[in-house]
C-alpha cells in the first residue's frame, strides 16, 4: 500500500501542492491548526456578513497562474474586481485608476481554498509540532501528543517562522526558513448601517498608519446590505503597536480612517481587529520551494517567492513538481 504524503497547512500553497499531487494519482493527507482552510486568504464570518480580513485581491502575472485563474473563473470560484481605486499621499486623496486586472474569490476570499480542498482528506484543529523520520517513513506529532502516520513524505506549507521547527530533520532547510523575516499586519473591520459618503472603494495609502482601506462589499458576489470596510495598518505601524490591545488598535485606526476619508463617519455597528503576526515576508525570494528529495522533506509557501497569493500558488506547484521529479528519478 502507498503511504500518503502529509501536507501541513491548508493555505493556498498547501492546497496548490495537494491538488497537483492528487491529480498525479498520489494520496495526500492535509493538516491545519485552524478550524478551516484558507490561512491568510481566510474570511471572518460576522453579524455583518463575511469579511476578508487577510488577502484583499490578487493579480496574475505568471502565465501558469493566469491559466489557473481562468479555470477558476470558468468554475465561478473567482471574479474580477473593479474598485473605484484611490491613493493617498501626504494625506491627499486622489483617484488612481489603472488597467491592472485584480481578482477576488467569490463569495468570500476563503472560498477559493475551500473549493480547492474539495473532498481531500484533512484534519483541522490539529497543530503539528514535530515531524520525524523513522527507518523508512515519516510520523507527525501534534500539540495534543497524538501521533499521525506513516507518511511517505512531508510537505511543510506554513509561514516560514512556523516551518523552521518542523524542518529540523533537514538543518539547512530549517536554517533557510529561519532566515526569513515576516512582517505583521493589524487588520480592522468596521461595519455601518448606512453607506459612507465617499466615492472610493479602495485606497493605497502611503506614509501613514494605514496602508490600505477597502469597501468589502464592492467586491463581486458579496450579498449584504451592510457597509463593510477593511483597514490594514502598515508593517511599520503594526510592528510598533504589536502588543496593543484590540480595542486600542481599533480606536486608533478608526481615527486614521475618518481623517483619511474626511467625511462624516457614523457609529460603527461592528468593530473587530485581527493581528496577523506573519503577514508578509520582509523581502521576496526566488527559491520556488525547498526540497530534500532523498529525505522526503519539502517546504513551500509565499515566502519562497513573492509573498503574495500568486507566489503561494506557484510555490505549491513547484514543491509538487520537485516531489514528482524525485519519485520518477
Select from 86, 276, 287, 298 the one that contacts ligand FAD (CB under 6 A).
276
308 binds ligand NAI (CB under 6 A): yes
Q: Which is nearer to ligand FAD, 125 or 197 (CB)?
A: 125
Q: Which does 41 bind (CB under 5 to 8 A by kind): ligand FAD, ligand NAI, none?
A: ligand FAD
What is the distance between the alpha carbons of residues 296 and 149, in angstroms, rounded to a whole number?
Answer: 14
In terms of DSSP bridges, do strands 122-123 and 28-31 run parallel, antiparallel, or are they unpaired? Answer: parallel
98 binds ligand NAI (CB under 6 A): yes
Cα–Cα distance list, 323 to 199, 294, 299 (Å): 49, 10, 11
Select from 106, 110, 162, 185 the one that contacts ligand NAI (CB under 6 A).
185
**CB neighbours of residue 112 within 10 Å:** 27
Q: Which residue is nearest to ligand NAI (CB)?
A: 279
CA angle, corner 161, sides to 45 and 158, nearest 5?
50
Q: Which stretch binds ligand FAD (CB under 6 A): 26-34, 114-122, 200-208, 251-259?
A: 26-34
Q: Which of residues 142-171 bind ligand FAD (CB under 6 A)?
A: 157-159, 162
What is the distance between the alpha carbons of residues 256 and 70, in angstroms, rounded to a whole number?
Answer: 37
Select from 133, 219, 232, 285 the one that contacts ligand FAD (CB under 6 A).
232
Q: Which is nearer to ligand NAI, 151 or 278 (CB)?
A: 278
Cα–Cα distance list, 105 to 32, 43, 235, 245, 287 (Å): 21, 11, 25, 31, 27
Q: Which is nearer to ligand NAI, 38 or 296 (CB)?
A: 38
Helix (H, G, I), strand (E, B) or coil at 225: coil
Per-residue mark of binding to ligand FAD, 63-102 (x: CB under 6 A): ----------------------------------------
66 binds ligand NAI (CB under 6 A): no
* Cell digits of residue 286: 526566488
Select from 100, 135, 144, 286 the one that contacts ligand NAI (CB under 6 A).
100
Dihedral over alpha carbons 16, 22, 26, 32 (to 10 degrees)? 50
56 binds ligand FAD (CB under 6 A): yes
* 3-state helix/strand/coil string of 226-281: CEEEEEEECHHHHHHCCCCCHHHHHHHHHHHHHHHHCCCCCCCCEEEEEEEEEEEE
User: Which residue from 169, 143, 137 is spatially nearest to 156, judged by alpha carbons?
Assistant: 169
**What is the contact surface with ligand NAI in residues (CB under 6 A)?**
58-59, 85, 87, 96, 98, 100, 185, 204, 232, 279-280, 307-308
**What is the contact surface with ligand FAD in residues (CB under 6 A)?**
8-14, 31-34, 39-41, 54-58, 127-128, 157-159, 162, 185, 187, 232, 276, 279-280, 301-302, 307-309, 312
Amino acid at each position: 500500500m502507498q503511504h500518503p504524503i502529509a501536507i501541513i497547512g491548508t493555505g493556498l500553497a498547501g492546497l496548490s501542492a495537494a491538488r497537483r499531487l492528487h491529480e498525479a494519482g498520489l494520496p495526500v493527507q492535509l493538516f491545519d491548526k485552524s478550524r478551516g482552510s484558507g490561512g491568510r486568504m481566510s474570511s471572518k464570518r460576522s453579524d455583518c456578513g463575511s469579511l476578508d480580513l487577510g488577502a484583499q485581491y490578487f493579480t496574475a502575472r505568471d502565465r501558469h497562474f493566469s491559466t489557473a485563474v481562468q479555470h477558476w473563473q470558468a468554475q465561478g470560484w473567482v471574479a474580477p474586481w473593479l474598485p473605484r481605486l484611490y491613493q493617498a499621499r501626504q494625506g491627499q486623496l486622489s483617484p488612481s485608476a489603472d488597467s491592472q486586472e485584480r481578482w477576488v474569490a467569490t463569495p468570500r476570499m476563503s472560498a477559493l481554498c475551500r473549493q480547492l480542498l474539495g473532498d481531500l482528506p484533512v484534519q483541522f484543529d490539529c497543530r503539528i509540532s514535530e515531524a520525524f523520520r523513522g527507518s523508512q517513513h515519516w510520523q507527525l506529532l501534534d500539540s495534543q501528543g497524538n501521533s499521525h502516520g506513516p507518511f511517505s513524505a512531508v510537505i511543510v506549507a506554513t509561514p516560514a517562522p512556523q516551518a523552521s521547527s518542523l524542518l529540523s530533520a533537514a538543518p539547512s532547510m530549517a536554517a533557510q526558513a529561519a532566515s526569513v523575516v515576516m512582517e505583521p499586519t493589524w487588520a480592522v473591520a468596521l461595519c455601518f448601517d448606512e453607506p459612507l459618503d465617499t466615492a472610493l472603494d479602495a485606497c493605497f495609502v502611503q506614509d501613514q498608519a494605514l496602508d490600505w482601506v477597502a469597501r468589502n462589499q464592492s467586491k463581486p458576489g458579496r450579498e449584504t446590505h451592510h457597509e463593510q470596510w477593511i483597514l490594514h495598518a502598515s508593517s511599520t505601524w503594526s510592528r510598533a503597536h504589536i502588543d496593543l490591545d484590540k480595542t486600542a488598535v481599533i480606536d486608533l485606526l478608526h481615527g486614521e480612517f475618518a481623517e483619511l476619508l474626511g467625511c462624516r463617519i457614523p457609529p460603527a455597528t461592528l468593530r473587530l481587529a485581527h493581528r496577523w503576526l506573519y503577514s508578509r515576508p520582509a523581502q521576496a525570494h526566488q527559491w520556488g520551494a525547498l526540497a530534500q528529495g532523498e529525505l522526503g522533506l519539502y517546504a513551500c509557501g509565499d515566502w519562497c517567492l513573492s509573498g503574495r497569493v500568486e507566489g503561494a500558488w506557484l510555490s505549491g506547484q513547484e514543491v509538487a513538481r520537485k516531489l514528482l521529479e524525485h519519485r520518477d528519478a
